Amino acid sequence: MNDFSIYNLPFGVFEAGRGPRLGVAFEDQVVDLAEAAAQGYFRNIYFPDPSVFSRPSLNAFIALGRPYWRAVRNRIAELLLDRRLLIERESVRMLLPIEVGDFVDFYSSEEHATNVGKMFRDPKNALLPNWKHLPVGYHGRNSSIILSGQDIHRPKGQINPTNQNPEFGPTRQLDFELEMGFIVGRNTSLGSSVSVAEADSCIFGMVLLNDWSARDIQRWEYVPLGPFLGKSFATSISPWVVTLDALDPFRVAGPAQDPPVLAYLQSHDDRNYDIELEVYLHPESEASPMRVCRTNFRGIYWNMNQQLAHLTSNGTNLRIGDLCGSGTVSGRTPDSFGSMLEICWNGTRPLTFPGGAVRTFLEDGDTVILRAFAERDQVRVGFGELRTKILPAL
């Protein structure tokens, strides 16, 4: 089944010889929203500024608010009858869908946090004392958020493999992190906060996200202030933004939270999403990619609403286009671990490919492919893929 069915209709930004413009993906085609506006298809929807469809990002369109997002999406079915508005998806060049204001990455999978704790701390007390009381996160860089298809160079930094004297050079432990991301859809004022119940109204949609990690750089630098150069070199996202309206049929209950969380984080409705996640790894020497992970987003311990409520609980303001990552999504079994760190258990369990390639972390020339989809009763809502190739350090 196609990821971009009539039940999905995700938004993105593309270029096909006439400048950047907004589009909606449908099967193997793109609906040109700028052309649709020019042809009068939105004449029954009052737009304060129709040029929002001819911008290099979704931000101005998002700023119009949820009633406009829904009105345009509901109109798409009629637009599919006009061949002038349809462009083959393989012929367009996708652009970063949003102008990112701020980027926050959370650490919200209990299985992932437990695995990391077992590896590097006391296995009997893998989670730090705060982990089940608040969504742990860090503030990243927006300047290094890139689009699927853009290659990355192996980052360099300080590493200390002998625990004696640090050295500077390319990371030896480059890793992917399988994540989902959500895009903020409403500005809020400094000093205000967003409740768990209100958070839906502040989220435009979701993307696939890979928050790359240089594990050896991160391990040496993170005490006492957390991730820095080991994370900031690149964060990749998929080009099509899937709306919460499209994902609404796939809402499910999240894991039971024990001990009970504080009142401002309590979540009473189904706020997790049943989204299948996959990672494929393709070394250059192999004939084809191999799946190294399959897991599900429904098991995330801290849902997006709780993440947003905690993020704003101190009064920080939100801006349209802000991006938040879920943190690595891992399941309970080795085939569902969302990073090479876990799959190969910090290098002690090498991964062998059909053609003979062996990996413990990522090597130059490797291509990492993330995919995600929700499917139920013959209805599929997918995210396409997030593909990145690793190049040697500069």
Neighbours of 331 (CB within 10 A): 18
* E-assigned strand segments in 96-202: 103-106, 137-140, 145-147, 152-153, 156-159, 167-170, 174-175, 178-184
Shortest CA distance to 153 belongs to which of 237, 95, 233?
A: 233
Nearest to 222 by CA among 293, 154, 136, 335: 136
Q: How far apart are CA 344 and CA 363, in angstroms?
A: 14
- Check if 112 is active-site: yes
The DSSP line for 7-47 is TT--EEEEESSS-EEEEEEETTEEEEHHHHHHTTTTTTS--
* Residues facing residue 207 across a β-bridge: 181
Tell me if 383 sits within 8 A of 6, measured CB to CB: no
Is residue 356 classed exposed, middle or buried when 0-12, 13-18 and 19+ CB atoms within 10 A define those classes?
exposed
* Cα 156 from Cα 360, distance rounded (Å): 19
Q: Could you list the active site residues?
A: 112
